[in-house]
């Protein structure tokens, strides 16, 4: 009978150091400060714009962290930090023009916004004064009419493509035409609407409803595509369970499919509205422009905020007495641009709230 003797604990001891040196937690802050310092020095010496210097600082930081990591931590950690830095740098570079735009609009437009600016139109206004009351109502009416036209057509088209048209030639042709309509220039949509109304009512026709028709041509492809994608995300198990209970297909779509995809559909509709609410060319061609309030979409010209901004910036008026300052039209244009941005932001916020409220409840959310 043989016995085994236990090995000594130190017989197979490994003395190699497996610890990998790591950058300290304050390394990111140090690289950021150095990048800002170098970019600031270059900005002062070369006379760059501050935002250009900020972009250079972001690029220096995105390259500085991986280089330091390569020297200390090795290739794998450097590659990981490089990928992370590129993601954050791309986010920051995209954020810079957005913040710059918002800051510029607020800086130049906030001084023009007051009670008179929001409640007066431009009738008989010479020089300073006046407001966007007529353009504000024109934007609301024209965009609402375009949404009333586009949402049912786009939603029903998406339902057909997803639920009824699989594998059919008509569905393939419809999808192709929707893709083509997505790339149509806005001025072409305006010219089409103008030609349509000129053929029916004569060459002098300029009405707000024509602008709504032109905007609907731009909205429908976005509504179709967004609704189609949301409907395709609905699990097939929900449809099959409904069919197994003997529920007809149309009722399954109304009671199961649409409520499940409602949050995404609403978000897509708001994106479509935000896409067309700032269009100028089709409305300038079809709806025309006026200095007074017009609440009738089917009679007379109608001004919207984008057209108002274009008018004020292209014809700003005369310089104030003494030759100091900008013409009054510039301030009105910036103020109208700020109001338009606020409207789009409110629409997106409302869409997020509605989409969250109508989103299907899950176990985690309960």
Q: What are phi and psi of 191, to 5 degrees?
A: -65, -35
Same domain, yes or no, for 267 and 230? yes
Count the domains in the chain: 2
CA 219, CA 158: separation in Å to the nearest integer? Answer: 13
Looking at 60, 79, 112, the residue that finishes a domain is: 112
Is 2 a member of any domain? no
pLDDT at residue number 16: 42
Is 8 a member of any domain? no
pLDDT at residue number 11: 44
CA 208, CA 145: separation in Å to the nearest integer? Answer: 9
pLDDT at residue number 225: 92
Q: How many CB atoms lie within 10 A of CB 39?
A: 22
Looking at 58, 78, 112, the residue that finishes a domain is: 112
Is 17 a member of any domain? no
Question: Which three-class secondary structure string do you get for 107-123?
Answer: HHHHHHCCHHHHHCCCC
Looking at 75, 97, 112, the residue that finishes a domain is: 112
Is 13 a member of any domain? no
User: Can you tell me which residue has the tokens 């954050």?
Assistant: 88
Residues 130, 292: contact at Cβ < 8 Å? no
pLDDT at residue number 324: 67
pLDDT at residue number 27: 84
Helix 328-358, helix 133-159: angle, nearest 10:
30
pLDDT at residue number 146: 94
Which residues in the chain come in under a pLDDT of 50?
1, 7, 9-17, 363-366
Non-local (6+) Cβ contacts of 183 within 8 A are: none
CA angle, residues 189, 193, 199, in degrees to nearest 5: 145
pTM above 0.75, yes or no: yes
Coil, helix or strand at residue 205? coil
Is 11 a member of any domain? no
CA 261, CA 227: separation in Å to the nearest integer? Answer: 8
List the domain range (segments joined by +) for residue 75: 27-112
Q: Which two tokens stand for residue 309?
A: 């901004």
pLDDT at residue number 54: 80
pLDDT at residue number 73: 81
CA 136, CA 337: separation in Å to the nearest integer? Answer: 11
């Amino acid at each position: 009978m043989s016995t085994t003797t236990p090995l000594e604990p130190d017989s197979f001891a490994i003395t190699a150091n497996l610890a990998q040196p790591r950058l300290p937690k304050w390394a990111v802050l140090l690289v950021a400060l150095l990048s800002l310092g170098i970019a600031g020095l270059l900005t002062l010496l070369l006379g760059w714009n501050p935002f250009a210097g900020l972009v250079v600082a972001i690029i220096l930081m995105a390259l500085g962290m991986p280089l330091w990591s390569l020297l200390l931590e090795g290739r794998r950690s450097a590659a990981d930090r490089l990928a992370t830095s590129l993601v954050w740098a791309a986010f920051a570079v995209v954020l810079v023009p957005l913040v710059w735009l918002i800051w510029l609009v607020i800086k130049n437009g906030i001084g023009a916004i007051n009670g008179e600016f929001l409640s007066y139109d431009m009738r008989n206004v010479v020089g300073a004064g006046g407001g966007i009351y007529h353009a504000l109502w024109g934007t609301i009416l024209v965009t609402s009419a375009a949404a009333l036209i586009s949402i049912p057509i786009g939603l029903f088209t998406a339902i057909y493509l997803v639920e009824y048209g699989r594998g059919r030639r008509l569905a393939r042709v419809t999808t192709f035409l929707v893709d083509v309509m997505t790339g149509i220039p806005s001025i072409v949509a305006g010219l089409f609407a103008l030609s349509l109304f000129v053929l029916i009512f004569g060459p002098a026709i300029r009405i707000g409803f024509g602008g709504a028709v032109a905007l609907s041509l731009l909205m429908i492809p976005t509504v179709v595509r967004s609704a189609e994608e949301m409907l395709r995300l609905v699990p097939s198990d929900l449809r099959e369970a409904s069919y197994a209970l003997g529920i007809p297909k149309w009722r399954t779509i109304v009671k199961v499919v649409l409520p499940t995809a409602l949050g995404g559909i609403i978000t897509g509709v708001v994106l479509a509205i935000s896409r067309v609410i700032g269009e100028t060319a089709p409305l300038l061609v079809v709806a025309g422009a006026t200095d007074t309030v017009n609440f009738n979409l089917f009679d007379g010209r109608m001004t919207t905020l984008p057209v108002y901004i274009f008018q004020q910036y292209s014809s700003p008026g005369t310089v104030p007495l003494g030759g100091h300052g900008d013409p009054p039209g510039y301030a009105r244009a910036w103020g109208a641009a700020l109001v338009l941005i606020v409207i789009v932001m409110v629409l997106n916020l409302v869409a997020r709230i509605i989409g969250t409220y109508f989103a299907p409840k899950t176990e985690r959310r309960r």
